[in-house]
Structures are given as C-alpha cells and as structure tokens.
Amino acid sequence: MPVESHTASGYAAYKKPQSPLIAESRRFMILRNEFATVEVLLNDSANGPRLQVRDAETQREVLLDLLEVESLTRMSHDDFAQFVRPA
C-alpha cells in the first residue's frame, strides 16, 4: 500500500506510482484540495521531459511538453475559467 503524507501547504508527499507509464518517472506527487485531486509527474520516458497530469477521479490525463507548460505562464485565470466545470 503506497504511503502518503501531507504538508502544511496542502501538497501531498511523494507516492509510489501505480501505472507502468508512471513507474518510469522519478518525480511524482499528488495535489489535492476540496475541488480536485490530481497526480503530477515529470515523465522523461519519451522525447524529452514532459509534465504528465492525471485527474484522480476520472483517470483522464494529459502530457505537456515544455513549450506547452511555458505557454501556461502567459494565460490568466480568466483564460482557464472556460475549462473549469461548474460546482
């Protein structure tokens, strides 16, 4: 059974990966709040490092290359509002 500990900031400590794709990664964490739980890892199993983000509820995931991650810094909270499902 994977062990998970939480810090004062709300971030969970590193956890043992559960899927074969994740197992190849060296950096893995769970981020959780009252609205969502996501697994985030640095996936370097293909052509360069990519950020892999998985929704823990639906198991949907996305792999983002470095240019895609960098482009997030140019977006505002309003840009993300269209993607957030209503509560």
Q: What is the pLDDT along the chain (87 residues), one digit of tens a residue?
A: 343 444 444 445 444 445 544 444 457 899 999 989 999 999 888 788 899 999 999 999 999 999 999 999 999 989 888 888 665
Start-end of H helices in the chain: 20-23, 66-72, 77-81
The size of the chain, in residues, is 87
The type of residue at 78 is: D
pTM: 0.63
Measured between alpha carbons, how far is 8 from 46 in angstroms, rounded to an integer? 34
Measured between alpha carbons, how far is 4 from 14 in angstroms, rounded to an integer? 7
The strand ranges marked E within 1-87 are 27-32, 37-43, 50-55, 61-65
